[in-house]
Amino acid sequence: MAEEKKCIIIPDTNFIREHPYDFDNVLKVLKKHGEVFISEITIEEKIAQERIEIKRDYAKINEEKEKYKQIADISFKQSLDERIKWREDLTLSNYKKSFGNNVIKFEKNEKVFSMVLERAYNKIPPFSQSSSTDKNPSDKCFKDTLLWLSLINYFKINKSDKEIVFITNDNGFIKNCEALTQEFFDATKQKIQISNSEFYQNLIADKKNTEFDKNTIIKEVTDIELENLRKEINRAVEGICFIWDQEYGEMKEVFSVKFGGIIDTELTQYFENIQKIINKNIFNEYVSAKDFWGDVVDSVYYNVRIEKYIELNNIYLKMKNTYPNYLSQFFHTVASIFNKNATELPF
């Protein structure tokens, strides 16, 4: 029998945007903890943002086309409308693949827009008293309000005994959490937890390694030791991720990471295997990233000297044996550097 999911989790647009390179892995973590839904408003907002970006890109290309028309012919492989349609279809396909039928639909009609306007006039959250001084309050708050109303409408109809968690870093929600959760309960007779990214961080945190505070760090590791560790870790990890190209006089990526990148909690297995692969290739001057990171790697552009992996393994062993309480932070930093080489997800 399949394990019943503990809760219903709904990520906001801003939370998704914060994970452009590793959202596939983020979604895996969330799905282990609960059933993950997405609002139709969030999907539409993403498509609208992409449409704006594409129009901006085409405008820039047209400027260059005009600027260099005497020396080059620049043409488009796709018209602007074709490109927008292609991107929209791709985004919808990826959301469908990620969320299936767990899409919170919401009919936007005259009644709904009247409700939004009434909330705007009366500064009902996620509209706020301060929103009148924001740079672009109307567009932002209108979208947030539509999203909020879509959640209320959906759970009025679709009752659930599971805890409902809405992950957002938007101040319109976070600062008005108490009023919004009460409104949600009054309308649906169900409780909702409005949480920032800490909800996700708590899911992936290893309590044994992460239950510490700044005072503990200062007591266990001196400032000088911390600074030296930062330099050693960054130098070692970047040493296998980037290489200096003398011909072009710039740093180049050694390899690219697949969609979704790598999540820090998955790194232990790879680091535990580094010494074996070093031993296997001990007489080789250069090694491929695929030997060490396997299917996580999409493409390899350069091989690197094996000494770079020996240096990386040494810093890992140092962290493991001397600073075991900081292994989760070490893996988090490694993952962050790796995922600079990841291709951004198309949603």
- Of 35-44, 130-139, 156-165, least confident by mean pLDDT is 130-139
Instruction: Indicate whether 132 pLDDT > 50.
Output: no
- Mean pLDDT over 86-92 rounds to 90
Distance of alpha carbon 148 from alpha carbon 126, whole angstroms: 8
User: Structure tokens of 324?
Assistant: 């075991």
- Percent of the chain's residues with pLDDT above 90: 24
Q: How confident is the model at residue 192 (pLDDT cuts 50, 70, 90)?
A: very high
The top-scoring range by mean pLDDT among 294-298, 307-311, 325-329 is 307-311
Amino acid identity for residue 345 in this structure: L
Distance of alpha carbon 118 from alpha carbon 285, whole angstroms: 69
Nearest-10 crossing angle of helices 327-338, 306-322: 150
Closest CA to 38 of 154, 209, 124: 154
Strand ranges in 70-189 using DSSP code E only, listed in sequence order: 103-104, 163-167
Distance of alpha carbon 235 from alpha carbon 67, whole angstroms: 42
- Of 159-163, 205-209, 298-302, least confident by mean pLDDT is 205-209
The whole-chain average pLDDT of the chain stands at 81
Domains of the chain with CATH codes: 7-204 (3.40.50), 208-341 (no CATH)
Q: How confident is the model at residue 88 (pLDDT cuts 50, 70, 90)?
A: very high
- Of 76-80, 215-219, 335-339, least confident by mean pLDDT is 215-219
Distance of alpha carbon 29 from alpha carbon 73, whole angstroms: 48
- Mean pLDDT over 186-191 rounds to 94
pLDDT tens string 211-243: 444 444 433 567 788 888 888 998 988 888 888
- Of 68-77, 147-156, 178-187, 221-230, least confident by mean pLDDT is 221-230
pLDDT, position 38 = 95
Query: Which long-range contacts does 203-207 make (Cβ < 8 Å, 24+ apart)?
Result: 203/29, 203/30, 203/32, 203/33, 204/29, 204/263, 204/264, 204/265, 205/328, 206/265, 206/328
Closest CA to 260 of 338, 198, 170, 315: 338
- Percent of the chain's residues with pLDDT above 70: 83
* pTM, entire model: 0.58
User: Do the strands 286-287 and 304-305 form a parallel or antiparallel pair, or are they unpaired?
Assistant: antiparallel
Closest CA to 148 of 163, 130, 170, 129: 170
* Residue bearing the bigger pLDDT, 198 or 344: 198
Instruction: Indicate whether 169 pLDDT > 90.
Output: no
- Please measure the distance between the N-terminal and C-terminal CA atoms of the chain and give it in whole angstroms: 33
pLDDT tens string 41-76: 999 988 998 899 899 989 988 998 888 888 888 888
- Of 147-156, 176-185, 266-275, least confident by mean pLDDT is 266-275
Q: CB–CB of 268/285 below 8 Å?
A: no
Q: How far is CA 193 from the centre of its chain?
A: 21
- Of 108-122, 127-141, 230-244, 275-289, least confident by mean pLDDT is 127-141
pLDDT, position 194 = 94
* Residue bearing the bigger pLDDT, 136 or 42: 42
Distance of alpha carbon 287 from alpha carbon 304, whole angstroms: 6
- Mean pLDDT over 72-85 rounds to 90
pLDDT, position 210 = 42
Distance of alpha carbon 186 from alpha carbon 76, whole angstroms: 54
pLDDT tens string 258-286: 655 666 667 888 888 888 888 888 888 88
Peptide bond before 20: cis, by omega within 30 degrees of 0? no
Q: How confident is the model at residue 333 (pLDDT cuts 50, 70, 90)?
A: confident
pLDDT, position 37 = 96
pLDDT, position 259 = 53
| Cβ-count burial 55-83 (b if 16+ within 10 Å, e if not) | eeebeeeeeeeeeeeeeeeeeeeeebeeb
